[in-house]
Structure 1
Amino acid sequence: MKVIQVMFDTLKRNALNAYEASDIQTPNFDRLQQKTVQFNQFFAGSLPCMPARRDMQTGRYNFLHRGWGPMEPFDDSMPELLKQNGIYTHLVTDHKHYWRDGGATYHPRYSSYELIRGQEGDSWKAKVDKDMNIDGLDNIPDEFKQRKIGSIAQDLYNREHMPKEEDHMLYRTVEAGMEFLRENKDADNWFLQIECFDPHEPFFVPEKYLNMYGVSQEEFNGWLMYSHDDYTSEKADQLKNFYKALVTMCDAYLGKVLDFMDEHNMWEDTMLIVNTDHGLLLGEHDWWGKNIMPVYNEIANIPFFIWYPDLGIQNESRNQLAQNIDVPATILEFFDIEIPEFMKGKSLRKVVESPGEVNHEAILFGYFGSNMNVADQEYIYMRAPMPGKEDYLYEYTLSPMRMNRRFTPEELQGAELDNSFAFTKGVSTLKMQTSDFMGKNYQRFGNKLFNYKEDPAQKSPLTDAEKEFEMIEKLKRLMEENEAPETLYTYYGLDQIHSVEDVRKEHEVLDREQEAVTEEITFVNYHVKDGYLTLINALKDKTKAQAMKQHVQETKAAVTEDDIRNWIKDNVDKEEQARLFYQLDMTLRVD
């Protein structure tokens, strides 16, 4: 019994012809489709990178209890459970977050591991005086700009040490996996995880693949600036072509694994899983990237392929709901290892074996502190945090690390021991109020309801109080099953919703609150109105906020985007402007 899991980070399902026809060349994913069972309604759980990996080791949602962080002492780890039951586990990856503070307890769960250096500004090659003149960062707030400059400068220097395709991280990662296969193909009882950071940005691609899409690395450094950049049509096409080129390169290296399985007849005794953690927005909904905007299906609905050697089912698809928390239970069951009590994900075996089997009636997904999302087979409901309830968002951890740093003493002030959850196995955790800078920004998106079966592009939000209440009931039930903190219900205003009439009243209250801020003010469109509301909340000096309100009230014509931008330039200190423009730009891209 053997399992190979090939994972690509940030792989969009609409980039694969197996899912949607496009001009991206992915012949090996087409070949994979013929060899496996393809899931069409497979979703991410916790986002982004390491929260997703905690889901895929523990089979539990990370995002209900904390943001980005390590594996916790009480977590059940799928690769560690395999190791404890005599299954050899090996990880090869170029995902740099495994050796940062917020990911440092993941890879030691495997029997062995190999970390490939050089991705996304990885602190790999040393140079004191790197070129720090990076263009295109004018609108990033100073508090983030220096870190971004440092990452890009380090990344560009790392690339100088990778002049050939065989030096590239993707080549080295897959080659390390192939080395394991060549050495251990005749052995039994092992699990190999080949985890590739590509096609995650920054898009660093050998010219061979860029030439296929008419672009060159000299034109663009590959760094996606997310929502704050102003993408012209030409620049947008260029960026998309870089992503296409990198997906085609990923496809080529997937082909090496498939070739090896063919050559050594591994399909007879080896499970194959090919998956990703999440997708990406490349201009859909007028957004770029992830993390900031609502989690539309271009991010949440992800590709997934699986081959069960003992079932022999191939070239079929499944439409049942499934998601990343199901991966560990699937692998444990394949090796006939008991699934732990607190692993909420479910093995996919019955769904693969029987197209009528249902694993989940509904599922959750999201970022910590952002919109809480629930999906069933037809609808997706996005529940925004409630204004004024920021103090109800807490993190629970025994490993106080962020992505790339420890918690500060200030963050830990007031932390108390908490023993609210069964999944911590009688162990108390630290409970602390979070100060996520994005908290208020998430509120502005409001609640959104989509029928994604009839409206797959999610362009037409629905106003349907009955359906919204039905989805809220599903959301609450799943939160309860997954031990969501009690305060989270208040944070999302769910403690006030007990009937359809409550939903209607909530709509009326939120509409009145917005109108109270914007009474006697006319805007050219609702984007500008949202931008104004964001600015009023973001101004630290409330006397300036009042001055801004007075200014727009005195504007005789409808308020435009330029009116708001010019007011910021004329009335706000220079060092504060970048932060405000950053938030304004994000708001103006809401669809």
Structure 2
Amino acid sequence: MKAIVVMFDTLNRRYLPPYGCTSTYAPNFQRLAERTVTFDNCYAGSMPCMPARRELHTGRYNFLHRSWGPLEPFDDSLPELLRELGVYSHLVTDHQHYWEDGGATYHQRFSTFELFRGQEGDKWKGHVPSSTEGSPPPSAHTGAGAHQGAHDARRQDAINRQYLTDEADHPQTKVFDAGIEFIETNAAQDRWLVQIETFDPHEPFFSAKRHKEHYRRDYDGPDFDWPPYAPVSEPPEVVQHARDEYSALLTQCDESLGRVLDVMDAHNMWEDTMLIVCTDHGFLLGEHGWWGKIVQPWYDETIHTPLFVWDPRSGVRGERRSALVQTIDLPATLLDHFDGDPTPDMEGRSLADTVAADHQIRSHALFGSFGGHVNVTDGRYVYMRASVSPENAPLEEHTLMPTHMRARFAPEELLETELAAPFPFTKGVRPLRMPGTTFGNLNAYDFGTLLFDLQQDPQQLDPIVDDDIELALADAMVELMRANHAPRSQFERLGLPFTGPVTGEHLLAQRQQRLVAASIRT
């Protein structure tokens, strides 16, 4: 048995033909849907990029304990578990966060790996700034440093693109070249997994010119393929241009996907090879008046993700599944494929029976990012619980790997560090506990606690107020948080009980906060 995982970053299901989109040219995604099972109710869990990848290794939520960071010493890791089963694993990727401080322990878990440079602000090609390009950046641990970091990333991206003038040089192209090389080299071998992972269609939406031809319009405005994570202030024609740039890059991704399907056809791999095509999250392209992610709640466009699975054991293809599934289910699914069992710490479950017959494996799904809303859905209703105080306190980070995305924790961040008691999943190890900072600077209090009915309001434009539904979802949220061994501080931050039942008083704790948030939104 073998397995191929094709992972895209920032793949928005609303732009894919199998999910009803008619404006994106993506014939291979349609072809994929005909060869696999398409999931209609897949939700990501821990956000964004590296927290999502930690879930792909560990099969458990991590956003309630820690922000962006590496694998922890006590973490289970899928590739290592597969190695114990005699399965060889190989990673090919251009996702530059793997070789930054906050992601450096992930790719080393694979048997072998290949990394390709040049995506986004990857610190790749060296051009010394001129004296007119600004002063040296301030500390990376300050707000000013974060602003400077964004400026530096855009400057670096402009430099990188100078070396990517041919589509053959594009990092995505090289990733799929290498992935297909691995498949063709090892097609006759057994018990291997390859993860072909591209950063695309993540912003900036940098694609080959020929893919843009599918979206030609009369547009003479500014180049705009890298929207800021901010409210939309651009005119409609610029918003549409950004959407077209995203679609063009998605079309390039579609062509790369087609190459994988071709090689599976050529080697008749459908008989013994599992195929999973997935993503970490989506992206707001003007919906809700926002660009991006992280700086606003995790709306449907960003958290309700596409998922396609071919399981040669059941042989089901061309069908859809309504069962509620999540990213945390993929490790257990792959272990099951190779006759392995999930570890006791894994919260995800194998999708084998769900692929075969739409077997339900959960009633509710939890999701969020560190310090933001904690969210739960039953597939119809989505409940976004905000902090009960504007200070968003208490918020505590628990880690033995104190690094941010691109920097180590500063000494001043560690001054209040203490050893916490072990969690059940830390294998007896006491993690460090320290004051935490909301990832993405989202103040969930300002947005307020929100409840949406996706059946009546799929665009999530009109929050509803229904105490019975809210109480049921709050109860499910608490149950999942307790099962995840969330720290007491998270319950206090959200005004939820660490022990005992959820009551109407816990809903009243949000009433004033909702009024404040509503006034801010309007």
TM-score class normalised by the smaller sequence:
over 0.9
CA distance in 2, matches of 1:440, 1:167: 36
Residue 439 of structure 1 deviates from its aligned partner by: 5.8
Kept in 2: contact 1:268–1:309 (CA 8 A): yes
Matches of residues 246-261 of structure 1 in structure 2 within 5 Å? 246-261=249-264
- For 1:273, what is the secondary structure of its paired residue? strand
Residue 394 of structure 1 deviates from its aligned partner by: 0.5
Q: What amino acid maps onto 1:183 in structure 2?
A: T
Q: What amino acid maps onto 2:332 in structure 1?
A: A
| Deviation by residue 1:7-56 (Cα, 9 ceiling, x = unmatched) | 10000001101002321001000000000001000000000000000011
- For 2:127, what is the secondary structure of its paired residue? coil
CA distance in 2, matches of 1:288, 1:437: 17
Kept in 1: contact 2:93–2:116 (CA 8 A): yes
- For 1:227, what is the secondary structure of its paired residue? coil
Matches of residues 28-47 of structure 1 in structure 2 within 5 Å? 28-47=28-47
Kept in 2: contact 1:465–1:503 (CA 8 A): no
Residue 500 of structure 1 deviates from its aligned partner by: 5.1
Kept in 2: contact 1:92–1:177 (CA 8 A): yes
**The one of 160, 171, 174 aligned to 1:172:** 174
Alignment-derived partner of residue 2 in structure 1: 2
CA distance in 2, matches of 1:21, 1:440: 30
- For 1:102, what is the secondary structure of its paired residue? helix
Alignment-derived partner of residue 371 in structure 2: 369
**The one of 239, 242, 262 aligned to 1:239:** 242
Kept in 2: contact 1:346–1:359 (CA 8 A): yes
Unaligned 5+ segments in structure 1 are 135-139, 515-525, 531-589
- For 1:444, what is the secondary structure of its paired residue? helix
Kept in 2: contact 1:8–1:196 (CA 8 A): yes
CA distance in 1, matches of 2:146, 2:451: 33
Alignment-derived partner of residue 119 in structure 2: 119
Residue 142 of structure 1 deviates from its aligned partner by: 4.0
CA distance in 2, matches of 1:330, 1:94: 25
Q: What amino acid maps onto 2:290 in structure 1?
A: W
Q: What amino acid maps onto 2:495 in structure 1?
A: G
Matches of residues 253-272 of structure 1 in structure 2 within 5 Å? 253-272=256-275
Q: What amino acid maps onto 1:233 in structure 2?
A: P
Residue 489 of structure 1 deviates from its aligned partner by: 0.4
Q: What amino acid maps onto 1:331 in structure 2?
A: L
Residue 392 of structure 1 deviates from its aligned partner by: 1.2
| Deviation by residue 1:433-485 (Cα, 9 ceiling, x = unmatched) | 11337667221111111111222111121111111111100000000011000
Alignment-derived partner of residue 210 in structure 2: 208
**The one of 388, 395, 399 aligned to 1:393:** 395
Kept in 2: contact 1:391–1:433 (CA 8 A): no
Kept in 2: contact 1:130–1:153 (CA 8 A): no
Residue 287 of structure 1 deviates from its aligned partner by: 1.1
Kept in 2: contact 1:90–1:111 (CA 8 A): yes
Kept in 2: contact 1:390–1:440 (CA 8 A): no
CA distance in 2, matches of 1:366, 1:418: 23
CA distance in 1, matches of 2:376, 2:149: 34
- For 1:226, what is the secondary structure of its paired residue? coil
Matched, 1:27 2:30: no
Matched, 1:348 2:351: yes
Moved more, 438-447 or 21-30: 438-447
Kept in 2: contact 1:414–1:432 (CA 8 A): yes
Alignment-derived partner of residue 303 in structure 1: 306
Moved more, 106-115 or 492-501: 492-501
- For 1:18, what is the secondary structure of its paired residue? helix
| Deviation by residue 1:263-309 (Cα, 9 ceiling, x = unmatched) | 11010110000000000111111111000101111001000000011
Moved more, 58-67 or 123-132: 123-132
Alignment-derived partner of residue 328 in structure 2: 325
Residues 409/460 of structure 1: CA separation in 2 closer, same or farther (3 Å cut):
same
Residue 112 of structure 1 deviates from its aligned partner by: 0.2
TM-score normalised per structure 1: 0.83
Q: What amino acid maps onto 1:14 in structure 2?
A: R
- For 2:17, what is the secondary structure of its paired residue? coil
Alignment-derived partner of residue 464 in structure 2: 462
Kept in 2: contact 1:49–1:277 (CA 8 A): yes
Matches of residues 101-500 of structure 1 in structure 2 within 5 Å? 101-129=101-129, 142-214=144-216, 219-220=222-223, 222-228=225-231, 230-355=233-358, 357-387=359-389, 390-436=392-438, 441-495=443-497
Kept in 2: contact 1:204–1:217 (CA 8 A): no
Matched, 1:93 2:93: yes
Unaligned 5+ segments in structure 2 are 135-141
- For 1:431, what is the secondary structure of its paired residue? strand
Kept in 1: contact 2:7–2:198 (CA 8 A): yes
- For 1:305, what is the secondary structure of its paired residue? strand
CA distance in 2, matches of 1:440, 1:225: 15
Kept in 2: contact 1:227–1:288 (CA 8 A): yes
CA distance in 2, matches of 1:268, 1:494: 49
Residues 495/194 of structure 1: CA separation in 2 closer, same or farther (3 Å cut):
same
CA distance in 2, matches of 1:240, 1:338: 42
Q: What amino acid maps onto 1:158 in structure 2?
A: N
Residue 86 of structure 1 deviates from its aligned partner by: 1.2
Kept in 1: contact 2:371–2:392 (CA 8 A): no
Residues 15/505 of structure 1: CA separation in 2 closer, same or farther (3 Å cut):
same
CA distance in 1, matches of 2:220, 2:253: 17
CA distance in 2, matches of 1:332, 1:148: 39
Q: Please tell me the root mean square deviation across aligned C-alpha atoms, in Å.
A: 2.2
Residue 339 of structure 1 deviates from its aligned partner by: 1.3
CA distance in 1, matches of 2:396, 2:90: 35
Percent identical residues? 45
Q: What amino acid maps onto 2:268 in structure 1?
A: N
Kept in 2: contact 1:204–1:221 (CA 8 A): no
Residues 142/426 of structure 1: CA separation in 2 closer, same or farther (3 Å cut):
closer
CA distance in 2, matches of 1:190, 1:418: 39
CA distance in 1, matches of 2:365, 2:167: 40
| Deviation by residue 1:169-201 (Cα, 9 ceiling, x = unmatched) | 111111010111121111111000000100000
| Deviation by residue 1:519-545 (Cα, 9 ceiling, x = unmatched) | xxxxxxx98x41xxxxxxxxxxxxxxx
Matches of residues 1-80 of structure 1 in structure 2 within 5 Å? 1-80=1-80
Kept in 1: contact 2:372–2:444 (CA 8 A): yes
Residue 337 of structure 1 deviates from its aligned partner by: 1.3
| Deviation by residue 1:65-92 (Cα, 9 ceiling, x = unmatched) | 0000000000000011112221110000
- For 1:494, what is the secondary structure of its paired residue? coil
Moved more, 206-215 or 75-84: 206-215
CA distance in 1, matches of 2:86, 2:450: 47
Residue 511 of structure 1 deviates from its aligned partner by: 6.1
- For 2:90, what is the secondary structure of its paired residue? strand
Residue 505 of structure 1 deviates from its aligned partner by: 3.0
Alignment-derived partner of residue 139 in structure 2: none
Kept in 2: contact 1:13–1:303 (CA 8 A): yes
